[in-house]
């Protein structure tokens, strides 16, 4: 049954997810600091508010899709945040914050009688547009059962567990593997290109063999070989996710030798390319050292 829902953060990921809620017949109350992000949803019937607090005072369920842990904490718990909302009963965080931030936010919201659903997503902007995201939900079972029909609008839903932060741990493990796949694929294909191999042929062979991964299957053909570097996920966000994962591993006393190398490369790329760069531009860092360019027709 269609509901009146709130959505805070309707940018690259949140915008398409909010749009899918409208497609499914839900009514939306939204907020974003960008008027340009709000405009297409308002044109489709969403009601824009002036703050997250106003959204949380208008609806019972509020979704968040925000870029960094600090912003999520501020929007959830800060002055003028969700915690002070007059009507909100449930906050669903679709962002990537790390498990400790998720637990902190859940505890603070619980004191005000607000349930927190830790539900990060994976699959990029394309997955958000198509409704094919992996949705990782951690919360009390009764909240999950109530929200699952709405979460299914975003993609395939997984119940990770009852404890806030479990969804974040799952997301960080996934994104570390994604970041590692991109890093090693860039190194291997730059090496082959410098040795005289055609990078398109390399990608085709890898994708037919045991080395295939998300970078070679999707990101190289779509954004690296054509040199568009427009996949839609920022270098700074990937570095943030890898950094959060390594911090969690250190807290758990789990060794991450490969993960540490992956973090170092993404840290370098973040400084070299800038946090706003598309994360597929990572290959340019390797190319610069090698003195070769990976593109179709090499």
Q: Which residues are catalytic?
A: 171
Q: Which residue has the tokens 């290959």?
A: 283
CB burial of residue 163 (10 Å; 0-12, 13-18, 19+): middle
- Whether the CB-CB separation of 3 and 21 falls below 8 Å is answered with no
132 to each of 8, 114, 125, how far by Cα in Å? 21, 28, 10
Q: Classify residue 200 as left (phi > 0), alpha (psi -120 to 50) or beta.
A: alpha
According to DSSP H, which parts of the chain are helical? Answer: 14-23, 35-43, 52-56, 69-77, 99-110, 124-130, 141-151, 166-194, 199-208, 214, 235-252, 257-273, 282-290
Tokens at residue 237, please?
């966000």
Structure letter (DSSP) for residue 280? G
Residues 6+ apart with CB under 8 A from 21: 5, 7, 28, 150, 153
What span, in angstroms and rounded, lies between the C-alpha atoms of 191 and 3? 53
Tokens at residue 197, please?
């191999």
Q: Which residue has the tokens 């990078």?
A: 199
Query: How distant is the alpha carbon of residue 16 from its chain centre?
Result: 13
């Amino acid at each position: 049954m269609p509901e009146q829902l709130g959505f805070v953060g309707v940018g690259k990921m949140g915008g398409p997810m909010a749009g899918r809620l409208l497609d499914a017949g839900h009514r939306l109350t939204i907020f974003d600091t960008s008027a340009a992000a709000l405009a297409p949803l308002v044109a489709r019937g969403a009601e824009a508010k002036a703050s997250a607090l106003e959204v949380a005072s208008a609806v019972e369920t509020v979704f968040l899709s925000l870029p960094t842990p600090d912003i999520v904490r501020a929007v959830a718990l800060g002055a003028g945040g969700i915690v002070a909302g007059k009507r909100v009963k449930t906050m669903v965080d679709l962002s990537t914050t790390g498990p400790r931030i998720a637990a902190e936010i859940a505890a603070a919201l619980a004191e005000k009688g607000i349930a927190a659903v830790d539900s990060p997503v994976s699959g990029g902007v394309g997955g958000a547009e198509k409704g094919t995201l992996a949705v990782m939900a951690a919360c009390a079972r009764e909240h999950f059962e109530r929200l699952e029909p709405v979460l299914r609008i975003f993609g395939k839903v997984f119940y990770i567990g009852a404890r806030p932060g479990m969804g974040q741990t799952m997301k960080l493990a996934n994104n570390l593997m994604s970041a590692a796949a991109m890093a090693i694929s860039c190194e291997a294909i730059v090496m082959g290109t410098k040795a005289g191999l055609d990078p398109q042929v390399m990608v085709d062979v890898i994708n037919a063999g045991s080395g295939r991964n998300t970078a070679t299957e999707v990101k190289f053909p779509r954004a690296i070989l054509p040199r568009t570097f427009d996949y839609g996920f920022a270098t700074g966000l990937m570095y943030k996710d890898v950094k959060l994962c390594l911090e969690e591993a250190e807290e758990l006393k789990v060794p991450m030798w490969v993960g540490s190398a992956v973090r170092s490369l993404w840290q370098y790329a973040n400084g070299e390319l800038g946090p706003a760069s598309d994360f597929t531009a990572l290959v340019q860092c390797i190319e610069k050292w090698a003195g070769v360019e990976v593109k179709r027709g090499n």
